[in-house]
């Protein structure tokens, strides 16, 4: 075992970058800290422009051969990566939980199997990817998806491997090569993915992983002229910075950003279902981009809804995310905790009432919080908190519900609880959101488009949309009897 390898809950993790099929150490490191108990897990190679440039060069060198690899062979390697993920589900789950504090049981049973599925899905989609040829005055039109080149993929800490796989899998399937830059607060599973991909036979340089602070390594990646696509999931301020940097080369961007999504509860809804959906918004300690953090409840049922909500939310068990019985784990970092508490205390000072929570717990935990008496234009209603904090507002009718729901700068998702299918259709049509769930939440099929409107993002991922982004889509028009001499 190298001096650069750490053992995380019994799993060996290399702390160096993965560039051109080799482990590369930086001169400096940064500490990776577990949100469970604040302990330092290890010192991680801290990349700079030098490693960023080397990784893009490796991706560029590997591109021609990988792009020329047959679809069947690319699909085979992606399935082999999925096999490798499946074999290591337990290891990936415990490393991710130690690193970002999300629930072990959900990593084990939901997230990691889903990561494997993501690789299989894009492998299979690649094999079916086609557009029917069509004719224009006797000329045939043939649409093809050409690999675009090296891609930079930048991911956040709240669902590290899951979000990486949404990007890495379609990019590799498309025939592109990749530089993956995981978040500095949870870099470990990206390193394990590099191991798994190498074991699966992915050629050197096709997947590269560089670690470090975004502020130190980010610009060198996103402004690089050899990079053909940038896919980013993270916050709005970082996205603006990346867009400026990418503008130098007009590098196409996919941006999956924050949200302030509404959850609308109409009086005709199954109230227990609606309460269940609302309490689900505390999942991952509220660190979910899609979370419906703004509860909008019809006046006539607001009191009863609140009573049932408080009863259910108060029963949530907060604690160690490795414990099977835990419902709500820690928040990622002391800085994030301060940010969450700052939002709540400013809201309370502005007149909000904490029906439950409203304060920190022990260590890095924040009590699940519900705030009422909040104004539509207040900070707590308009800005993403990214913690276990929900607001509750009431509405008198459908028009007001839609006005409140659409009344932020975001448009990532919306959830509607109603027992009336016609109302569901009317309201859904008026909501500004990339995804609307009716009487359900968090159902995500990779065939479906996924992304945000307004400040929640640019572009869509999933199915054909992912291939459209990661490829140069080409139309070839051939003349009637195209091969003969028309002279
Ligand atoms: P962040 O923007 O702080 O960081 C995200 C990534 O960007 C990290 O890897 C970071 O190192 C990197 N980065 C920082 N500065 C950079 C720069 N100048 N150039 C290049 N890269 C840079 O976001 P975060 O706090 O890690 O994640 C939380 C945010 O992510 C929330 O806003 C959440 O809503 C959003 N999110 C969105 C989705 C979605 O699909 N829409 C999913 C998950 C999270």
Q: Are residues 117 and 243 in the same domain?
A: yes
Ligand 1 centroid from CA 421, angstroms: 37
Q: ∠ CA(375), CA(381), CA(383), 5° rounding?
A: 140
Q: Give the number of other Cβ atoms within 10 Å of residue 288's Cβ.
A: 21
Q: Are residues 366 and 227 in the same domain?
A: no
Tell me what percent of the residues of the chain surpass a pLDDT of 90. 97
Q: Which of 226, 241, 257 marks a domain boundary?
A: 257
411's tokens: 């448009």
The yes-or-no answer on residue 289 being catalytic is yes
Q: Are residues 271 and 250 in the same domain?
A: no
**Ligand 1: which of 214, 290, 408, 460 to mutate, most ligand atoms within 8 Å of CB?**
214
Helix (H) or strand (E) holding 472: strand 471-478
Helix (H) or strand (E) holding 22: strand 22-24
User: What is the pLDDT at residue 2?
Assistant: 84
Residue 143 lies in a domain: yes
pLDDT tens digits, residue range 359-384? 999 889 999 999 999 999 999 999 99
pLDDT tens digits, residue range 10-55? 999 999 999 999 999 999 999 999 999 999 999 999 999 999 999 9
Section 446-452 average pLDDT: 97
Q: Are residues 374 and 396 in the same domain?
A: yes
pLDDT tens digits, residue range 97-130? 999 999 999 999 999 999 999 999 999 999 999 9
User: What is the pLDDT at residue 1?
Assistant: 73
Residue 268 lies in a domain: yes
Domain with 51 in it: what CATH number? 3.40.605.10
Torsion-angle region of 417 (φ positive above 0: left; ψ -120 to 50: alpha; else: beta): beta
Check whether 295 has a pLDDT greater than 50: yes
Q: Are residues 340 and 295 in the same domain?
A: yes
Ligand 1 centroid from CA 257, angstroms: 7
487 — pLDDT class (breaks 50, 70, 90):
very low
Check whether 185 has a pLDDT greater than 60: yes
Domain with 293 in it: what CATH number? 3.40.309.10
- Residue-number span of the structural domain to which 149 is assigned: 5-257
Q: Are residues 247 and 266 in the same domain?
A: no
User: What is the pLDDT at residue 486?
Assistant: 53
Q: Are residues 426 and 388 in the same domain?
A: yes
Residue 141 lies in a domain: yes
Partnered with residue 152 across adjacent β-strands are: 179, 230
How many folded domains does the chain comprise? 2
Q: Are residues 253 and 277 in the same domain?
A: no
Check whether 161 has a pLDDT greater than 90: yes
Q: Are residues 17 and 144 in the same domain?
A: yes
282 — pLDDT class (breaks 50, 70, 90):
very high
Please give the model's pTM, rounded to 2 decimal places: 0.97
State the catalytic residue, choosing from 96, 256, 384, 461.
256
> Could you tell me which residue, 50 or 482, shows the higher pLDDT?
50
pLDDT tens digits, residue range 387-405? 999 999 999 999 999 999 9
**Ligand 1: which of 156, 189, 237 to mutate, most ligand atoms within 8 Å of CB?**
156
What number of residues does the chain have? 487
Q: Are residues 253 and 308 in the same domain?
A: no
Residue 461 lies in a domain: no
pLDDT tens digits, residue range 197-250? 999 999 999 999 999 999 999 999 999 999 999 999 999 999 999 999 999 999
Nearest protein Cα to ligand 1, atom 35:
234
3-state secondary structure of 282: coil
pLDDT tens digits, residue range 251-267? 999 999 999 999 999 99
Q: Are residues 161 and 248 in the same domain?
A: yes
Summary mean pLDDT of the chain: 97
Q: Are residues 242 and 322 in the same domain?
A: no
Ligand 1 centroid from CA 232, angstroms: 7
Residue 324 lies in a domain: yes
Which of 57, 61, 31, 58 shows the shortest CA–CA distance to 43? 31
Q: Which atom of ligand 1 is nearest to the CA of 219?
A: 19
pLDDT tens digits, residue range 465-479? 999 999 999 999 999
Partnered with residue 141 across adjacent β-strands are: 134, 477
Ligand 1 centroid from CA 457, angstroms: 12
């Amino acid at each position: 075992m190298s001096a650069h390898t750490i053992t995380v809950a019994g799993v060996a993790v290399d702390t160096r970058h993965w560039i051109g099929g080799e482990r590369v150490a930086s001169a400096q490191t940064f500490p990776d800290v577990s949100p469970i108990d604040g302990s330092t897990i290890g010192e991680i190679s801290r990349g700079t422009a030098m490693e960023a440039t080397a990784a893009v060069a490796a991706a560029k060198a590997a591109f021609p051969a990988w792009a020329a690899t047959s679809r069947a062979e690319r699909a085979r390697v992606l399935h082999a990566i999925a096999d490798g993920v499946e074999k290591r589900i337990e290891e990936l789950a415990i490393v991710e939980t130690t690193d970002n504090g999300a629930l072990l049981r959900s990593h084990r049973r939901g997230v990691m199997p889903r990561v494997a599925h993501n690789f299989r899905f894009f492998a299979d989609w690649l094999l079916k990817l086609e557009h029917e040829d069509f004719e224009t005055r006797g000329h045939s039109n043939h649409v093809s998806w050409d690999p675009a080149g090296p891609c930079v993929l930048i991911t956040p800490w709240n669902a590290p491997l899951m979000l990486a796989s949404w990007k890495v899998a379609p990019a590799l399937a498309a025939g592109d090569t990749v530089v993956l830059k995981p978040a500095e607060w949870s870099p470990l599973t990206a390193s394990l993915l590099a191991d798994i991909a190498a074991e699966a036979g992915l050629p050197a340089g096709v997947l590269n992983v560089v670690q470090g602070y975004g502020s130190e390594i980010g610009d060198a990646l996103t402004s690089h002229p050899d990079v053909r696509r940038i896919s980013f999931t993270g916050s709005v301020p970082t996205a603006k910075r990346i867009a400026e940097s990418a503008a130098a080369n007009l590098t196409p961007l996919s941006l999956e950003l924050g949200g302030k999504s509404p959850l609308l509860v109409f009086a005709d809804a199954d109230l227990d279902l609606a309460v269940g959906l609302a309490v689900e918004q505390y999942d991952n300690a509220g660190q979910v981009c899609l979370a419906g953090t703004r509860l909008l409840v019809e006046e006539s049922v607001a009191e009863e809804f609140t009573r049932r909500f408080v009863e259910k939310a108060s029963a949530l068990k907060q604690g160690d995310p490795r414990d099977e019985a835990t419902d709500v784990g820690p928040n990622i970092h002391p800085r994030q905790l301060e940010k969450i508490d700052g939002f709540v205390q400013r809201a309370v000072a502005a007149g909000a009432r904490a029906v439950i929570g409203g304060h920190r717990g022990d260590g890095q935990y924040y009590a699940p919080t519900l705030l009422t008496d909040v104004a539509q234009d207040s900070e707590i209603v308009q800005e993403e908190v990214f913690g276990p904090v929900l607001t509750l507002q009431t509405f008198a009718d459908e028009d007001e519900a839609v006005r409140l729901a659409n009344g932020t700068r975001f448009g990532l998702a919306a959830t509607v609880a109603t027992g009336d299918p016609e109302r569901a259709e009317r309201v859904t049509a008026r909501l500004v959101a990339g995804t609307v769930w009716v009487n359900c939440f968090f159902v995500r099929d990779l065939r479906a488009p996924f992304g945000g409107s307004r400040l929640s993002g640019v572009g869509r991922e999933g199915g054909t949309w992912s291939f459209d982004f990661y490829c140069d889509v080409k139309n070839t028009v051939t003349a009637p009897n195209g091969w003969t001499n028309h002279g």
